[in-house]
Amino acid sequence: MNQEERQPTPSKSAPKKSAAPKQNPKNKETKEGGKPQQNRNNRSRNTANRNKQGGNKNRRRNAPAPVDSVLKESVIKNQEIHKNRLNPHFKLDLNSTAKVRITPLGGLGEIGGNITVFETDKEAILVDVGMSFPDEEMHGVDILVPDFSYLREIRKKIVAVIITHAHEDHIGAMPYLYKEMQFPIYASPLPLAMIGNKFDEHHLKEFRRYFNPVEKRKIYKIGNDFEIEWMHMTHSILDSSSLAITTAAGTIIHTGDFKIDHTPIDGYTADLHRFAAYGEKGVLCMLSDSTNSYNKEITPSELTVAPALDRMFAKAEGRVILSTFSSNVHRVYQAIQYGIKYKRKVCVIGRSMERNLEVTMQYDYIKLPKNIFVDADEVSRMNDKDVLIVTTGSQGEPNSALYRMSIGEHRHIKIKPTDLIVLSSRAIPGNEGSISGMLNHLQRAGAKVANDRDLHVSGHAGIEEQKLLLRLCNPKFFLPVHGEYNHIMKHKETGMACGIPERNILLMTDGDCIEVGPKFMRKVKSVKTGKTYIDNQNNHQIEDDIVIDRQKMANDGIVMIVAQVSEADSHLISKPRVTSFGLVADKQDKAFAKEMEDVLEHFMVNLKPGHIENPKAMENDLRQVVRKHIYRKMKKYPLIVPNVFVM
C-alpha cells in the first residue's frame, strides 16, 4: 500500500482545515508546544486590548440607561430646596419698607473702644461702650473713651445700653458716659457686676438702679422698636453673649467677641443652635468679630493650656509667679487649681485681678476654697515652694504689680533667682517694647521666665470659626467689625467665600452711618467721632490742646521768653530772659539766648503801630517770628511761650 493509502480518511464530523483559527505569531510557543491554558489567557488579553482600542467593531455597544423621570424630578426639587435654604433673599419680607441704621462710633480701624448705635426712625440702642489705650505719643494719657457728640444729638431717642461681655474694650467707658447721660442697661449678670464696680470707683453707685439683668435664650422687648435675645458665646471672659436684634426691617446678628470653644472650662459651649434657628428664619445683616481674621487654624480651647501649666508647676523649684489678663478668670482658675494640686497657697496681687476674682466667686461662676488664699505680706514668711502668686502686668504696664516687682519697687514681693515667672498671655500690638523691658529687669534679677506659646490661647475666632457662624446665620448683608482695616478686609474675603455677594458687604469706618433694609444696604452719612483723653489718676478728661502741647514739647522742645518793653519808645528795658528745654544742649544755652535777644530786638524795631497797646496781639506776633526763625535754622517747631510786659 502506497503512502497515500496509509493516510486516515477524514471523518464527516471532523472540522475542516480552513475553519482552524489563524495562529498569532506572538503565540508561536503555543504552536510549538506551549501550554493550552497560557494560550487561552493570551487570547483573552488580546481581546480586551482590542476592545480598549476600539477593536471588534462588529460588537454592539451598550446603550445608555434610560432616564428615570421620577429621579430627575427629585433632583430638581432638591436643587430648589438648596436654593431656598441658602439664599436669604427668599426668607425676608421684601415688601417691607422698614430700615435700621447702624453707626459704629469706635472699634473700627483699631483694637478696642467698641461702641455701636442701632437706630430706627424713633428709637436707638447702644451696643457696648468700651475704652481703648493710648499710643506712645499721648503723653500723660491713661485711657481713651469714645467721643459722645453723636449720642448728645440723639439722646432723646436712646432707650437702652446693651452689653455683650465684660472686657474693658466693651464696658470701660461706661462711667464716663453715665456722668453725662443715663439709660437703662441690659446685660447678663457678670458684665453688670463689673460695671457696678466701675460705678462704685467713680462714685456713681446710684446708677446701679439702671441695671436690668437678662436671661439667655429669652427675648426682651426694649422700647417699641427692638426685640433682643442674648445667645451664650465662648470667649476669653466668662458670661459672654452674642445678640439677635430684631426690628421691623429684619433680624441683625451681632456676634460680639467670640471663639468656638467646644470644651470650655465651665462646660457652657457656644449656643450654636440659636444661630442656626435664626439662620433658618432669615437674617437681614450680620456684624462679626474680625480680630483674628488672618488665623487659618481653629482657635484652641482654653483647656489646652492646662498641660503646659501643669508642666510649669511640676518643675518649679521656688515660687511660681503667674501673670495674665485679669479678665481671663478661667486662666486664673486653672492656675489656682494647679497651685492646689502642688500644695501651694495662692496670693493674688493687683487691684483688677483681685476684684475680678472676688466678683466671679461671689456670684458662683467659679468655686474655690477661701483657705487657700494668703495676703501679700505673708509671702515673705512662707517656704518658696508653698507659694503661687497670681498678678497683673503681663503687658509690661509701668504701674502694674509685676513691673514694680521686676524693678524692686513692690512693697511685699522681691524677685528671687529661684522664682519662675509664667507669662500666660500674648503681647497686645504696641506693648512689645514694654514687655521686653520688663523681661530684661526680671532676668537681671535672676528669675526664670516662661512665655511659651502653649501657655496662652486667643479668645477670638479664626477663619474656620468665622465661616461656621456665617454659614449658620446665612445673612443677606455682612458688616465685619472689631479690628483694624486689614482685619475687616480679610473677613470680607471669608464672607465672600461663604457665598455672600461682594455688593452685600460693606467695610465701615468709625462714624459711617449704614442704612439697611430688606432690599438694600447703603452708607447715608458720616457723623462726628473721635477720642476723649482720660487721666486715670483722677478719672478726669484731658483737653485736646493739652495733649497737643505735650506732643510738641516731647518732639520739638519748648522756648520761654520773658521781656520788658518800654511803652514810650517800644524798646527793651532790660536783657530778655530766654529759657529752652529739649531744643539745644545746655552748653549752647547762652548762644541761643543771645540769638533770641537779637530776634526780639529786630521784632521790636519793626513792631506794627498800635501793637504796643495790645500785649496779647504782640505776643502772638512774637511767637510766629520766633517759630519761623527756629524752623529756618533747626527744622523744629517748638512750643513758644512768650511773656512780654509793657512798662
CATH number of the domain that 569 lies in? 3.10.20.580
Q: Are both 118 and 257 inside the same structural domain?
A: yes
Q: Are both 289 and 308 inside the same structural domain?
A: no
Spatial distance between the Cα atoms of 153 and 3, rounded to a whole number of angstroms = 131
Q: Is residue 36 in a domain? A: no
Amino acid at 181: M
Whether the CB-CB separation of 103 and 527 falls below 8 Å is answered with yes
User: What is the pLDDT at residue 6?
Assistant: 42
Domain extent for 483: 100-297+459-534
Whether the CB-CB separation of 458 and 236 falls below 8 Å is answered with yes
Q: Is residue 221 in a domain? A: yes
CB atoms within 10 A of CB 645: 10
Q: Are both 486 and 631 inside the same structural domain?
A: no
CA dihedral sign of residues 257, 262, 264, 270: positive
Spatial distance between the Cα atoms of 257 and 128, rounded to a whole number of angstroms = 11
Q: Is residue 53 in a domain? A: no
Amino acid at 98: A
Domain boundary among 451, 470, 486: 451
Q: Is residue 430 in a domain? A: yes
Residue 505 sits at φ, ψ, to 5 deg, of -125, 130
Q: Are both 331 and 278 inside the same structural domain?
A: no
Q: Is residue 6 in a domain? A: no
Q: Is residue 550 in a domain? A: no
Strands (E), 292-378: 320-323, 345-349
| pTM reported for the whole predicted model | 0.81
Q: Are both 144 and 259 inside the same structural domain?
A: yes
CA-closest candidate to residue 584, choices 634, 637, 640: 634
> Strands across the sheet with 226-233, in order?
219-222, 226-233, 240-247, 250-254, 285-289, 477-481
Q: Are both 349 and 490 inside the same structural domain?
A: no
Q: Are both 589 and 471 inside the same structural domain?
A: no
**296-306 exposure pattern, b = at least 16 Cβ within 10 A, e = fewer:** eebbbbbeebe
Strands 285-289, 320-323: pairing kind: unpaired
* Coil, helix or strand at residue 125: strand
CA 574 to chain centre: 61
Residues of the chain with pLDDT under 50: 1-35
* Helix-strand-coil split of the chain, %, nearest 5: 40, 20, 40
Q: Are both 599 and 641 inside the same structural domain?
A: yes
Domain boundary among 451, 474, 492: 451
Q: Is residue 432 in a domain? A: yes
Contacts (Cβ under 8 Å, ≥6 apart) of 404: 393, 410
> Strands across the sheet with 387-391, in order?
345-349, 387-391, 320-323, 420-423, 448-450
Q: Are both 222 and 109 inside the same structural domain?
A: yes
**481 beta partners:** 289
Cell (9 digits) for 558: 519748648
Q: Is residue 434 in a domain? A: yes
User: What is the pLDDT at residue 56?
Assistant: 53
CATH code, 348: 3.40.50.10710
Q: Are both 586 and 637 inside the same structural domain?
A: yes
Contacts (Cβ under 8 Å, ≥6 apart) of 36: 30
Q: Are both 436 and 561 inside the same structural domain?
A: no
CB atoms within 10 A of CB 50: 13
Q: Are both 262 and 383 inside the same structural domain?
A: no
**513 beta partners:** 525
Domain boundary among 501, 534, 567: 534
User: What is the pLDDT at residue 338?
Assistant: 95
Per the structure, the count of domains in the chain is: 3
Q: To which residue does cell 479678665 refer?
A: 327
User: What is the pLDDT at residue 271?
Assistant: 97
CATH code, 468: 3.60.15.10
CB atoms within 10 A of CB 531: 21
Cell (9 digits) for 379: 509671702
CA-closest candidate to residue 146, choices 167, 171, 163, 121: 171
